[in-house]
Amino acid sequence: MVFWRCEVKLIGLTGGIGMGKSAAGDWLRARGLPMADSDQVAREICAAGSPALAEIEDRFGPEVIGDDGGLLRGELAKRVFGDERDRADLEAILHPRIREAWKAEAEGWRNDGRAVGAVQIPLLFETGAESEFDAVVCLACSPGVQQARLLDRGWDEEETARRIASQLPLKEKMERSDFVVWNESGLVELGEQLERIMDALGVADELKAA
């Protein structure tokens, strides 16, 4: 991995769906690390009246827009997770804007004199973003645990399978990452693994007690 063009050491958080990226991000944020969440960024750039939402409506039609002018995410998800071309078109609208937004956040961290920050990106490798980070941390768990977590979200088996198939295989993500956190045992064990990773990266002193 190479340094991005600022003094902030950047950590990328990725992994499979339902494997604990948000929990890891919350743990780091609670200990003082600035954190950008690409999913949250995506929601913000698709706000009612935004240029991105206008492009989405032009491409996918008014049926993905609610009466309040906002995006019907469930309706759009049905489209894009069932058709590779639709998904590619949506990604072409969103991904450049998402990357621009979190890089701007990192620039703000640099201006604030922060030594380290993290960005949560589910599709980090799929979008070719790994070269932007000093280290990539992959959250992982067994397929059985993943399935149970996604079913708990209310997704049916068909939707779960489509969403998993839309990402790189977990094995490849793990192999391409600098660190892997095996997240099945609970928040204490998750935190212990993250602490060891921060220590290995030489940024443990940036953490504060939760």
**Which has more pLDDT, 181 or 82?**
181
Q: Is the pLDDT assigned to residue 72 strictly greater than 50? A: yes
Q: In the 3-class helix/strand/coil scheme, how is 50-108 assigned residue by residue? A: CHHHHHHHHHHCHHHECCCCCECHHHHHHHHCCCHHHHHHHHHHHHHHHHHHHHHHHHH
What confidence category does residue 10 fall into, taking pLDDT thresholds of 50, 70 and 90? very high
What confidence category does residue 155 fall into, taking pLDDT thresholds of 50, 70 and 90? confident
Q: Is the pLDDT assigned to residue 6 strictly greater than 70? A: no
Q: Is the pLDDT assigned to residue 210 strictly greater than 70? A: no
H/E segment holding residue 179: strand 179-182
Residue 139 near residue 31 (C-beta atoms within 8 A): no
Mean pLDDT across the chain, nearest whole number?
A: 91
Q: Is the pLDDT assigned to residue 207 strictly greater than 90? A: no
Q: Is the pLDDT assigned to residue 9 strictly greater than 70? A: yes
Q: What is the pTM of this model?
A: 0.89
